[in-house]
Every structure is written in structure tokens, then in C-alpha cells.
């Protein structure tokens, strides 16, 4: 009996651990009431950037290490909007300068980091005339609440509702562009909200929570992880254009899981096989991805 109990406890702890593996947010501190800004230092392999966020609006200003303002090739409008999860979420609308966009990309980012580490996935597409709305799920960055799979789904739907209410989005085509965990999420939101979008791009995504858990923990991963919602199932009921992008060199999400999503999708659909790292498509293939997005909604 003691042996059986030990096994049950081990299985329970394993199940809890596996179910928590999907979300690894970076949470930022709320700006104190007596402060009008907060400063964060962002480091990459190439440089170090200082970002100053204003209170209330959370509007970012990018500075060099010498405190000189960095002039970007696009504008950033920071907003705080309410999710049906009950949490206030932070998002950025990125717009190319001197261009009136005809396509709006709603970006669903991956399972880690926050806006400052995720927004650059969309900036290579801005020079092709797109505007993009990027946002943090509950528990990420400055967004309130707890990072859960239930909240992520509510937040994704709420972000779509928010951008559809904006005058600078109403006259554009709306494409959901999801990457990694956000790619999995994007198929579900797209299926639920088909009337509100014109197309879907899924990059480097897993087909289901159970499928990716099985890659980590084999048979036990599949049986111990709760599904909640599945891109593989949702995509079969999605009827609008879809572009699935996946790298054969992806070491995070296996290539075959992207192919599995594509196989279950309806026409019109396209699979774009690329090289390079996990969700690096826009860094290396922005021109061809932009062309494919434009062609998919003609």
C-alpha cells in the first residue's frame, strides 16, 4: 500500500510539473504610486538598451547606454486594455512611419519573456507596410494576474476584441500571427473568431499540449497532461486561409508537429518549410513571409 501511495504521489507531482511547463513568464514590478516611470535594462548578444516606461500608459522610450534616445523606424503606442480574464493587459501597437497600413497583424507570442523580448518578432514585417499589435498575457510583463492556459485563451480573444474596436484597425485586414505556444493558441482563437479575422499564420507551433508533453516525457507525458484546447482539433474547423511555417532545424518544437497541424487544416492552406532556429522566421525570411501573407488574403 505504501508503495502504491508513493507511486501515486510521484505521478501527481509529475502531472503538476508537466502542466506548468507551458508558461514561463517574466513578470515586471508595478510602477510605485509615487513614481512616474520605471527603468529596465535590456541586454542582448549585440548591445545593451535602456528602456524607460511611463506610469499609467507604460509608454516605452528606448535609450542607449549614453542615455541618448534611440530613433526607431516605427512608432510604438502602449495601451492597457481589459481582458475577460479580469486582468488589465499591456499591449503595443507598432506602426511603420509614413505608411498607412492595410494589414494588421495580431501577434500571440511564446511561453516566456514579455513584450520587450518578444516584440522584435514583428518588427521585420513593418517595413513591408504591416502594422502589428503585440501584447502580454496575464502574468507576463506589466500585465496583471496569473499566467495560466485558461487565462491565455481569454486574453487572446480579448486582444482580438480590443484591436477590432480601434479606428486605425477597422479598415485593415486582420491576421493572427502566432508563434510557438502562441501559434498553438492562434489556431484555437482563429477557429472561435473566424468572422473577425481574414487569415492565420502559425509559426513553430505544437499540435497539442499532449503531443509536446509526449516529446518531453514520453507516454506518461501524454496521459498526465490535461489538454484543455488543441490546435490540431481547432484547425479542422477553421475555414479561412492559413499559412503554417516551421523550421526543419527547430530544436524546441519538432518539425513534425507543425506538419501535423497543416495536415489537419482545410484549404486554402500553405506550408512554408524554412531553416534556422525556433520561431526565427521573420528574422531571416521576412520578405517571403510578407509576400505569402499578402497573397493569402487577395
What CATH number has the domain bearing residue 256?
3.40.50.1820
Q: Backbone dihedral region of 45: left (phi > 0), alpha (psi from -120 to 50 degrees) or beta?
A: alpha
More confident residue, 32 or 244: 244
Domains held by the chain: number: 2
The pLDDT of residue 47:
74
CA angle 91-96-100, nearest 5°?
105
Residues 168, 290: one domain? yes
pLDDT (tens digit per residue) in 185-234: 999 999 999 999 999 999 999 998 888 888 776 656 677 778 889 999 99
Are residue 79 and residue 59 in the same domain, yes or no? no
Give the integer Cα–Cα distance in Å for 119 and 116.
6
- Determine the Cα–Cα distance for residues 117 and 42; give it in Å rounded to an integer: 8
The residue among 41, 69, 97 that closes a domain is 69
Mark whether 41 and 89 lie in a shared domain.
Answer: no
Rounded mean pLDDT, 84-111: 96
Same domain, 256 and 287: yes
Domain shared by 16 and 120, yes or no = yes
Q: Is the pLDDT assigned to residue 34 strictly greater than 90?
A: no
- Orientation of helix 181-192 relative to helix 149-164, angle to 10°: 60
Helices (H), the chain: 2-20, 115-118, 123-126, 149-164, 167-170, 181-192, 209-224, 231-235, 255-264, 281-284, 286-296
Please tell me which residue, 237 or 225, carries the higher pLDDT value: 237
Answer with the residue of higher pLDDT: 17 or 215.
215
Which residues on neighbouring strands pair with residue 62, listed in sequence order? 51
pLDDT tens digits, 45-97: 667 889 999 998 999 999 998 889 999 999 999 999 999 999 999 999 999 99
Domain boundary at 52, 69, 86, which? 69
pLDDT at 20: 55
Q: Which helix (H) or strand (E) holds 112?
A: strand 112-113
Does residue 268 have a cis peptide bond before it, meaning omega lies within 30 degrees of 0?
Answer: yes
How does 146-172 read in b/e, with b if 16+ C-beta sit within 10 Å?
ebbbebbbbbbbbbbebbeeeeebeeb
Contacts of 138 (CB under 8 A, 6+ apart): 83, 85, 87, 89, 144, 145, 146, 147, 148, 151, 152, 154, 155
39 and 114 in a common domain: no
| Phi, psi of 16, rounded to the nearest 5 degrees | -60, -45
C-alpha cell at 98: 509614413
Residues 65 and 94 in one domain: no
Q: Residue 237 has which C-alpha cell?
A: 474547423
> Is residue 117 domain-shared with residue 130, that is, in the same domain?
yes
* DSSP structural state of residue 69: B
* One domain for residues 203 and 61: no
Length of the chain: 298
Q: What is the pLDDT of residue 119?
A: 96
Q: Do 237 and 111 belong to one domain?
A: yes
Same domain for 255 and 270?
yes
Note down the domain range covering 186. 2-27+72-296
Same structural domain, 135 and 21: yes
- Per-residue pLDDT at 11 exceeds 50: no
Amino acid at each position: 500500500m505504501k508503495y502504491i501511495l508513493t507511486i501515486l504521489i510521484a505521478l501527481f507531482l509529475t502531472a503538476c510539473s508537466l502542466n506548468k511547463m507551458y508558461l514561463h513568464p517574466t513578470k515586471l514590478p508595478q510602477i510605485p504610486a509615487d513614481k512616474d516611470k520605471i527603468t529596465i535594462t535590456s541586454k542582448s548578444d549585440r548591445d545593451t538598451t535602456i528602456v524607460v516606461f511611463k506610469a499609467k500608459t507604460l509608454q516605452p522610450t528606448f535609450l542607449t547606454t549614453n542615455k541618448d534616445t534611440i530613433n526607431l523606424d516605427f512608432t510604438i503606442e502602449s495601451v492597457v486594455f481589459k481582458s475577460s480574464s479580469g486582468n488589465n493587459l499591456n499591449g503595443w501597437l507598432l506602426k511603420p512611419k509614413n505608411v498607412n497600413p492595410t494589414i494588421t497583424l495580431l501577434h500571440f507570442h511564446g511561453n516566456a519573456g514579455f513584450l520587450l523580448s518578444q516584440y522584435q518578432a514583428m518588427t521585420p514585417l513593418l517595413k513591408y507596410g504591416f502594422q502589428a499589435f503585440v501584447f502580454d498575457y496575464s502574468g507576463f510583463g506589466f500585465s496583471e494576474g496569473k499566467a495560466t492556459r485558461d487565462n491565455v485563451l481569454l486574453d487572446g480573444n480579448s486582444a482580438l476584441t480590443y484591436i477590432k474596436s480601434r479606428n486605425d484597425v477597422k479598415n485593415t485586414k486582420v491576421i493572427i500571427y502566432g508563434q510557438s505556444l502562441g501559434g498553438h493558441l492562434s489556431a484555437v482563437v482563429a477557429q472561435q473568431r473566424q468572422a473577425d479575422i481574414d487569415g492565420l499564420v502559425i509559426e513553430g507551433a505544437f499540435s497539442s499540449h499532449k503531443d509536446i508533453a509526449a516529446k518531453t516525457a514520453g507516454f506518461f507525458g501524454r496521459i498526465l497532461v490535461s489538454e484543455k484546447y488543441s490546435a490540431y482539433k481547432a484547425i479542422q474547423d477553421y475555414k479561412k486561409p492559413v499559412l503554417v511555417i516551421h523550421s526543419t532545424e527547430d530544436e524546441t518544437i519538432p518539425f513534425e508537429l507543425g506538419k501535423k497541424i497543416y495536415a489537419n487544416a482545410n484549404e486554402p492552406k500553405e506550408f512554408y518549410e524554412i531553416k534556422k532556429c525556433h520561431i526565427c522566421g521573420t528574422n531571416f525570411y521576412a520578405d517571403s513571409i510578407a509576400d505569402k501573407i499578402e497573397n493569402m488574403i487577395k
